[in-house]
Structure 1
């Protein structure tokens, strides 16, 4: 069970929720929570969703992880290849068509929150839903500021966390792996994320950067 957020974390969440709540709708709001694996994206996105709903807002929370490519395509360049991790992990066409475009200006809100289950490596197509006008879409996941996705976000966060800390979280979460960034088993993920940061500069393009090293005391850096 997730522990209750600290008072410092709650205060920051309320500050962020107030800012998002004040954003103009066109007719929807699109929020991206970005960062490397283990940065705390899904937890913060869920907390922000709860804070926004407490303000009376309608929120759809989804993850780019519901739009993976099949394993054969993800690993076509090799199971440990960093380029493949960055370039081939996600079906960006489906992600945009089924989730982002319906919430974009001119969109009609008919969306799906996922189309694939990476754990079973099978299609898992969500039922199409209709979002009411004014709905806030909150999406968490890696690579959300790829060049192909520029211009898609109304507002976004980059969670900044030391790489050793994120790997320790991933090991604790998954029950396997190495917490050492230099370990060969982490090359695909560490170098793939480095490629993303160099190419897309997500921390510079985000609305805010949050230091999320200490989960009880996240710090708004910008």
Structure 2
């Protein structure tokens, strides 16, 4: 299916409609959505816009950043500050995401989600209070390298950048992560794994390919 040019406004509204029509795969009262993309693709911005569009539709939404669940620096930087394989395999605390974000949204769960665990700038525990996501609510987890980890997403959205666009839009200090994203493309193939793919090479002119539409 080819990519269709679209505005961010129309894309957000269409995504909100798609989410609102999606049923939880486990039959539970909460929906879990991935907004997967490298930082230059700005998945956080899309998550915030989508959350607002869902609230307008009467669906409570909670945005959670994967970067709030980094492992402590002594573990993730064990192989140095710029090791792309460590970034891919070790930086994100997937066990904490399961325990604090996904498990509370299992059928019969409490609905109490921890929005973050660790401040990436200080490497200290945030000590944030848990947030109750009302039944019928939607978790919007955003960040890089989310797919292929067996997270129980009911809908997955991938913001795609070509290698050239990713390099062009990455800050110089972050370009050491580029091999990790090349590995992600090779091992996970997010463009074929995700339910919805958004081509975001030009931040002003997105295009999308909604599989299953």
Report the TM-score when normalising by structure 1: 0.84
Secondary structure of the equivalent of 2:35? strand
Greater Cα offset, 161-170 or 118-127:
161-170
Secondary structure of the equivalent of 1:79? coil
1:98 aligns with 100
Gaps of 5+ in 2: 1-5
1:160 aligns with 160
2:196 aligns with 208
Distance 1:39 1:129 in 2: 27
Cα offset for 1:40? Answer: 1.6
Cα offset for 1:104? Answer: 3.0
- 1:139-218 aligned at under 5 Å gives the runs 139-147=141-149, 150-171=150-171, 177=172, 186-187=175-176, 189-218=177-206
1:4 aligns with none
Distance 1:101 1:161 in 2: 31
Gaps of 5+ in 1: 1-6, 172-176, 179-184
Q: How many residue pairs get matched?
A: 202
Distance 1:169 1:122 in 2: 29
Distance 1:124 1:43 in 2: 22
Over the aligned positions, Cα root-mean-square deviation in angstroms equals 1.8
Cα offset for 1:54? Answer: 1.3
2:22 aligns with 23
